[in-house]
A and B are shown apart, each in its own frame.
Chain A
Amino acid sequence: MSTPESQTPGSGQEAGSKEQGAGKGRELRVERRESTGKPTLNSELSTLNSPGLTARERSRLRKVIYLVAIIVLVVVIFKLSAPATLGTQKAKGQPEAKGQPGGVLAQYRDKHGLGQTELGEIDPTSETVRLATLGMRGVGSSLLWWSASQQQMKKDWTQLRATLDQISKFQPHSVQVWKYQAWNLSYNVSVAFDDYHDKFYWVIEGLNYLLDGVRLNDKEPRLYWDMGWFISNKIGRADEAKYYRRLFAGKKDVSESGAEFRRPSVNGARAAGWEDAGIDFAPDYVKDFRERDIPPTGFPHGSDVLDNWHVGKAWFLAAESKIDPPRYPVRGMADVIFYSDAPTCQFYYADALEKDGRFDQVAANAWKQASREWSDFGERAIDTCYDLKLQLNHKEELDAAIARDVEALDKLAPGQRQKLYEEKFARLTPEEREAWTTPVEKRTPQQHSLMMQIGERMEVKNEEVAHRATTSPRVAEKLAKVIETNKNLSLWTNRERMKVNFDFWKTRAAAEQSDECIAARKAIHDGDEAFAKGDQIRARPYYEKGMQGWRTVLDKYPLLIDDPNLGNDLLDVVHHYQKCLDQDDLDLPKPFVLQDIVTKWEKH
């Protein structure tokens, strides 16, 4: 029992005093230091379970335990949840302070790309609006979509545009929302207008909308691809392409009666005759768009940043740079088509140059560039639906290898291929034999249907030849397998080529570079100009020169005859030429220099 003298000063406790209401036999023992007279932690802990602890002491003990637990938990939480920080440069000349990777969760987020910052910029307005809906974001979005459809039906374009901005605040990271509404503005809303100036304004509005989506989802390749597609194809291949390209490039409005529709603004320049003086006639909204319309990968060297095809190409290249499977694979189309879009833009750029009347070295260089890019595309190893990568350029190599290996196999089994053929032929029924030997154009429908069965049975497989190899049968079998593998690769490569019309574009690039082709196009262009002015006498010799030039080109590159665009263009030339001849009551000369074109494409 402690004595009153040993009471701790200021402690408010009587040392050794019985705890009030504590029950019988419970005494408080407190060990004291002689010097301070204060109880120590050890002493308190040692008496933790002592029946002699007062309520105050138990309370103090609990607080200590809680404090320790809190400290431990804070440390654990900090380790888990510490945010990552960016590096900063505190003062000029001083080394940059390195950023910290953050806690376990932040590092995990960073490693697997799970944070919202991984998606793109964060829009505070959007975050606030979404929080303000108190969980009703879905309902709000549905109402906004309904409003937008009503506003579009009633052609209330101003409100529609405002509603789309609100939708994007509610659904900033939904890629399909950006894709759909941007397309809606550029394609559907624009065509509702009559004046092409207004149409183009809404095409650019769709692009502006898409740019906002790119900013918030800057890793999503689909949005970049859409930018490329809208800029290249919507501007370059619409019915109003002639006007759109000029507005985009800032050239003088081609409309002669600009008073009918609004004239674009001109700053300090005369309205007529100053087209080549470097004046930018682009509307203000186009100039504003150009400031934003810079892809993250920039423009390739030598790009014309005022030409929609080159700008589109830059965006397609940016889309390619964002491909990062498995998180960001090519979606919605075959890989070969995805990667063909950029070089195809170069083709259309070169084509557009010639349509604009450029037949100089610039046009020739453009075609050469197109040819190089197409070749680079052909060298690219592209994922296919056959679960392997293929290179389109390598088909010829594969075919050559197949031919070599077949020859080698035949050397190992001389005469066996023919023998197998004869054996298979012998096994055919008389009707099948007759079908097989009848030329294609003379076969009856029944024979055609028989051929589908016969073809497979008559095929002499390389394994069969290998089985009959007289020397080195194992080598022969290996060769047969290699031939089959290469045949499959060649077949698949050909299928991939057909998806992008690879052979045609390759041929066309080669043909268009040639001096004959450029001269032929120039002659046709001059003839069209004269024809448009009603001077058919002057147009006729141009057309004749042009058609003769095209004959040379088509003889050299016969694949071009199958191109419907070229076919229809030449058919138009023929019709114009016919009208020129009608002046003198003449018919088309026989034989006509482009008779094959006329025969093939007239009926289409």
Chain B
Amino acid sequence: MVIENLQIAPLGDWLLGTGWQGGWLWSRWGVAVLLAVVLGLGFLAVAALRRRSGRPGPVLSTWTGAILGLFSLVVLAALVMCSTNVTRSLMHDYVAGPAFTRLVPVLGTNWTDGSLYTWLGVIVGLFFGVIYFCCWLAATLLSGPALGTMQCGRAVLEIFTDIARISPRRVFALAWLAARESIRRRVVVVFVVFVLVILFAALFMKKDSLHPAQLYITIVMNCTIFLTMLFALVLSALSLPADIRDRTLHTVVTKPVRKIEIVLGRVLGFTVVGTLLLAGIGAISYGFTVRSLRHSHVLTRDMLHLETLPGNGGYLWTGSTGEAHGHSHHVTIKVPKVTGDAKADLDAALVHPEELKYTVDAERDHSHELAIERKGDDVVFSLGPPQGELQARVPIYGKLSFTDKTGAPKDRGINVGDEWSYRSFIQGRSDARATWTFDGLRAEQFPEAQFPNGIPVEMTIEVFRTHKGNMEKGVPGTIWLGNPATGKRVLLYNFSAKKFATDTQMIPLHFSRPGRDGRIEQFDLFRDLVSDDGRLEISLQCLEYGQSYGMAQPDLYIRAADGSFEWNFVKAYAGIWLQMVLVLSLGVMFSTFVSGPVALLTTIFAVIAGLFSSYIVDLGGGNMIGGGPFEAAQRIMTQDNMISQMEPGFKTSTIKAMDEATAVVMRYLSAVLPEFNESSFGRHLAYGFDVGADLLGRCALRELCYVLPVLLLGFLCLKQKEMAQ
């Protein structure tokens, strides 16, 4: 029931830094000015470039090359200055620091955390600091400084000219060509394969799993991702080399078609075909999942028995339904007491069975609606389709902080020796507690009509027992509410922790509790416990000595609303679409300068490296147990374990040095490789969490930031390729 790190920063904070609202540029007027300047200048530049015919003149080229060259020298110098601690601190104190501070009123506080600026910095640094400088140096060495500068300037101008002169009509024509080629290559086979795989999978998927919805959704998503990636890989990597080999591309390049249009057209065409394919697969997946999970249970009168409640509590007509999909549900129907004769009261209540109150206990993440009808002398029970299995929670997350057993604040709780340190723990029967601080809560978000029983809080708490204790009961704990502004805290109630289950607790909007003086105090949640700026603290404490509660930040959240599962399904497939577009772009890019099979293998490598990017980051950090690749190979050959120290000596030093070098490469590689898992929303869908707009927006922007340079690189490589002009 774990999705790590569900909580993400709002899109604006991620893109522009947490204080972006304070920057003038991002105010309404600032955005208007920015748009006007960017669009205006851009329009003028495009118009100028489109009007120009022939190659750029020598004077313009030389000036362009010189300016860019000087700029690249400056960037390179800055990069070199950052390589040592002393120069870096000098740079920070005398150059970067003042410059960054001056930009704060314009861009907002903490603007340096914004991803947009990081991306711009990397692109500028990479392009000007490395690529342009290397090209300029090579041209200068080959042709002399003046001619070399002019050549570089001319090349840059030609690139921008090509981009400015893109014809949408030609791009769409090439896209249509690419789409027709894909269909001619029978890509619909992917569709057929998917259907076959799903039908095959249905034979051995367990409907009686504890969480069948998770299982089904995970399987269809994995099948979809696998087939979509396969389709994207094969189509994108092999298409262009095949055309080059068959000389069909030569008939295209002899036309007034720009190389960038070829690249764009191909990617666009494949994307359209892939989108249609994905839409079809998505529709089948949805139908398959919903259909497979749909079931009902049999319930008849002889499955129920009457239990008398004490006093005038009435009766409980209770029992279990028949089994379906490996489970049954416990049903309880409340029968009011009238005469005191159980049978007579039941018969009287069954005159109007639709008025009876009932509960159907949840099993395997779902429950059913129960309809009771009278048909003649008999009563017919019918249970509806499962409810609650396919959902899309929209959670409100808080920030988690801990207090240790002495009451001192801590960032994390204690470690109980769990291999996975995702959760930390608080000890029982002590002052240790975990506190979630929620922000931005308003009473209007929780109208009483919509939340009559209170605000639902869902939590997944882990329990660690140092002794068996009472095995028949859960480990008890308490929930506290607190106002962070006034410091007021009130004990809401006790509860028993349910391990590996989502426990729903309700926070009433109005409640009463005994105060310290023993008098009953009335509380209004938003008036007394939520601060003026919308903050609320929810704390958990463990009551039993020797036991501990474990939690991570996403383990407790306010379930403010539910999104639509169908729309969430679409968003999950949008994530796959983003991955597909990136793979298509990479495949086309690689195929512009290597042969088809090599492009295929390179793209596969890029995809696999992207899927294991977190592992590569760990390798780059040099903190892996068992060491880097060379040390691991040594340990495998000597059958050594991962923990023991290697014997000091020349061999060990050499191995460690090689691993250090590998770690440096891995660090840079991990910074460049796209993280495919970030766009994979299968777990959100399977575990019933809504894919928020912030997350989707972030992933889309991130993919765009990869696709644009990849397409540009593809264009440059194809431009350099000698083909019939």
Q: Does A556 contact B (CB under 8 A)?
A: no
Chain A residues contacting B307 (CB-CB under 8 Å) are 270-271
Closest B-chain residue to A191, C-beta based? Answer: B465
* Min distance, Cβ B474 to any Cβ of chain A, angstroms: 6
Closest B-chain residue to A124, C-beta based? Answer: B203
Q: Does A256 contact B (CB under 8 A)?
A: yes
Q: Does A112 contact B (CB under 8 A)?
A: no
Q: C-beta contact mask, B399-435 vs A, less than 8 Å → 1, else 0?
A: 0000000000000000000011010000000000000
- Max count, chain A CB within 10 A of own CB: residue among B465, B468, B496, B497: B496
Contact A158 B215 (CB under 8 A): yes
Majority SS at the chain B contact face: loop
Known contacts A284-B327, A284-B328, A288-B326: does B499 contact A159 (CB below 8 Å)? Answer: no
Q: Does A601 contact B (CB under 8 A)?
A: no
Known contacts A162-B209, A271-B307, A284-B328: does B500 contact A239 (CB below 8 Å)? Answer: no
* Min distance, Cβ A157 to any Cβ of chain B, angstroms: 7
Find B499's partner among A156, A194, A255, A268 (CB 8 Å cutoff).
Answer: A194
Contact B471 A161 (CB under 8 A): no
Find A260's partner among B210, B468, B474 (CB 8 Å cutoff).
Answer: B474
Contact B328 A266 (CB under 8 A): no
Contact B305 A268 (CB under 8 A): yes
In the complex, the number of residue pairs spanning A and B with C-beta atoms less than 8 Å apart equals: 99
Q: Does A384 contact B (CB under 8 A)?
A: no
Contact A268 B472 (CB under 8 A): no
Bound-state CA distance A22–B376 (Å) is 103
Q: C-beta contact mask, A254-272 vs B, less than 8 Å → 1, else 0?
A: 1111001101011111110
Bound-state CA distance A286–B499 (Å) is 22
Q: Does B134 contact A (CB under 8 A)?
A: no
Chain B residues contacting A240 (CB-CB under 8 Å) are 471
Bound-state CA distance A471–B475 (Å) is 83
Contact B209 A161 (CB under 8 A): yes
Contact B500 A257 (CB under 8 A): no
Closest A-chain residue to B499, C-beta based? Answer: A194
Contact B498 A267 (CB under 8 A): no
Contact A265 B500 (CB under 8 A): no
Closest A-chain residue to B204, C-beta based? Answer: A125
Bound-state CA distance A51–B210 (Å) is 83
Q: C-beta contact mask, B292-317 vs A, less than 8 Å → 1, else 0?
A: 00000000001111010000000000
> Which parts of A121-142 form the interface with B (CB within 8 Å)?
125, 128
Q: Does A154 contact B (CB under 8 A)?
A: yes
Chain B residues contacting A201 (CB-CB under 8 Å) are 210
Contact B206 A165 (CB under 8 A): yes
Bound-state CA distance A156–B499 (Å) is 12
* Min distance, Cβ A136 to any Cβ of chain B, angstroms: 14
Q: Does A193 contact B (CB under 8 A)?
A: yes
* Min distance, Cβ A176 to any Cβ of chain B, angstroms: 19
Q: Does A195 contact B (CB under 8 A)?
A: yes
Bound-state CA distance A157–B209 (Å) is 10
Contact B304 A268 (CB under 8 A): yes
Contact A194 B472 (CB under 8 A): no
Q: C-beta contact mask, B198-240 vs A, less than 8 Å → 1, else 0?
A: 0010011010111100110011000000000000000000000
Q: Does B2 contact A (CB under 8 A)?
A: yes
Q: Does A592 contact B (CB under 8 A)?
A: no
Bound-state CA distance A261–B501 (Å) is 12
Q: Does B473 contact A (CB under 8 A)?
A: yes
Find A158's partner among B211, B319, B419 (CB 8 Å cutoff).
Answer: B211
Q: Does B92 contact A (CB under 8 A)?
A: no
Known contacts A157-B500, A239-B471, A265-B328: does B210 contact A194 (CB below 8 Å)? Answer: no
Contact B305 A269 (CB under 8 A): yes
Bound-state CA distance A157–B499 (Å) is 12
Closest A-chain residue to B304, C-beta based? Answer: A268
Bound-state CA distance A156–B475 (Å) is 22
Bound-state CA distance A256–B304 (Å) is 22
Q: Does A196 contact B (CB under 8 A)?
A: yes
Chain A residues contacting B219 (CB-CB under 8 Å) are 162
Known contacts A125-B204, A158-B214, A240-B471: does B305 contact A265 (CB below 8 Å)? Answer: no
Count of B interface residues, CB-CB < 8 Å = 44
Chain B residues contacting A265 (CB-CB under 8 Å) are 320, 328, 330
Chain A residues contacting B2 (CB-CB under 8 Å) are 154-156
Contact A266 B319 (CB under 8 A): yes
Q: Does B323 contact A (CB under 8 A)?
A: yes
Chain A residues contacting B303 (CB-CB under 8 Å) are 267-268
Bound-state CA distance A193–B496 (Å) is 14
Known contacts A240-B471, A263-B330, A284-B326: does B302 contact A195 (CB below 8 Å)? Answer: no
Find A195's partner among B320, B420, B474 (CB 8 Å cutoff).
Answer: B474
Chain A residues contacting B204 (CB-CB under 8 Å) are 125, 165, 169
Q: Does A198 contact B (CB under 8 A)?
A: yes
Closest A-chain residue to B218, C-beta based? Answer: A159
Known contacts A194-B474, A268-B319: does B420 contact A154 (CB below 8 Å)? Answer: yes
> Which parts of A157-212 form the interface with B (CB within 8 Å)?
157-159, 161-162, 165, 169, 192-196, 198, 201
Chain A residues contacting B471 (CB-CB under 8 Å) are 196, 239-240, 243
Closest B-chain residue to A263, C-beta based? Answer: B330
Bound-state CA distance A157–B210 (Å) is 9
Bound-state CA distance A165–B203 (Å) is 13
Q: Does B463 contact A (CB under 8 A)?
A: yes
Chain B residues contacting A270 (CB-CB under 8 Å) are 305, 307
Contact A256 B326 (CB under 8 A): no
Chain A residues contacting B323 (CB-CB under 8 Å) are 284
Closest B-chain residue to A205, C-beta based? Answer: B210
* Min distance, Cβ A313 to any Cβ of chain B, angstroms: 27
Q: C-beta contact mask, B614-629 vs A, less than 8 Å → 1, else 0?
A: 0000000000000000
Q: C-beta contact mask, A67-89 vs B, less than 8 Å → 1, else 0?
A: 00000000000000000000000
Q: Does A285 contact B (CB under 8 A)?
A: yes
* Min distance, Cβ B464 to any Cβ of chain A, angstroms: 9
> Which parts of A327-366 form the interface with B (CB within 8 Å)?
none
> Which parts of B263-311 form the interface with A (CB within 8 Å)?
302-305, 307
Chain B residues contacting A257 (CB-CB under 8 Å) are 472-473
- Max count, chain B CB within 10 A of own CB: residue among A154, A239, A256: A154
> Which parts of B523-574 form the interface with A (CB within 8 Å)?
none
Closest B-chain residue to A153, C-beta based? Answer: B420
Chain A residues contacting B475 (CB-CB under 8 Å) are 194
> Which parts of A265-298 form the interface with B (CB within 8 Å)?
265-271, 284-285, 288
Contact A267 B420 (CB under 8 A): no
Chain B residues contacting A254 (CB-CB under 8 Å) are 472
Contact B422 A154 (CB under 8 A): yes
Chain B residues contacting A169 (CB-CB under 8 Å) are 204
Chain A residues contacting B500 (CB-CB under 8 Å) are 155, 157, 192-193, 198
Contact A260 B473 (CB under 8 A): yes
Bound-state CA distance A195–B503 (Å) is 14
* Min distance, Cβ B279 to any Cβ of chain A, angstroms: 26
> Which parts of B444-473 form the interface with A (CB within 8 Å)?
462-463, 465, 468, 471-473
Bound-state CA distance A95–B465 (Å) is 66
Closest B-chain residue to A239, C-beta based? Answer: B468
Chain B residues contacting A192 (CB-CB under 8 Å) are 499-500
Closest B-chain residue to A123, C-beta based? Answer: B204
Contact A159 B214 (CB under 8 A): yes
Find B472's partner among A255, A267, A285 (CB 8 Å cutoff).
Answer: A255
Contact A153 B328 (CB under 8 A): no
Bound-state CA distance A256–B475 (Å) is 16
Chain B residues contacting A268 (CB-CB under 8 Å) are 302-305, 319
Chain A residues contacting B420 (CB-CB under 8 Å) are 153-155
A-B contact pairs, 14 of them (CB 8 A): A156-B1, A158-B209, A158-B210, A194-B465, A196-B471, A201-B210, A239-B468, A257-B473, A260-B472, A260-B496, A261-B473, A265-B320, A267-B320, A269-B305
**4 smallest beta-carbon distances between A and B, as pairs:** A194-B499, A265-B320, A255-B472, A158-B211
Given pairs A153-B419, A155-B462, A263-B330, 18 additional interface contacts (CB within 8 A): A154-B420, A162-B206, A162-B209, A192-B500, A194-B475, A194-B498, A194-B499, A195-B498, A196-B471, A196-B472, A198-B500, A261-B473, A267-B320, A269-B305, A270-B307, A284-B323, A284-B326, A285-B326
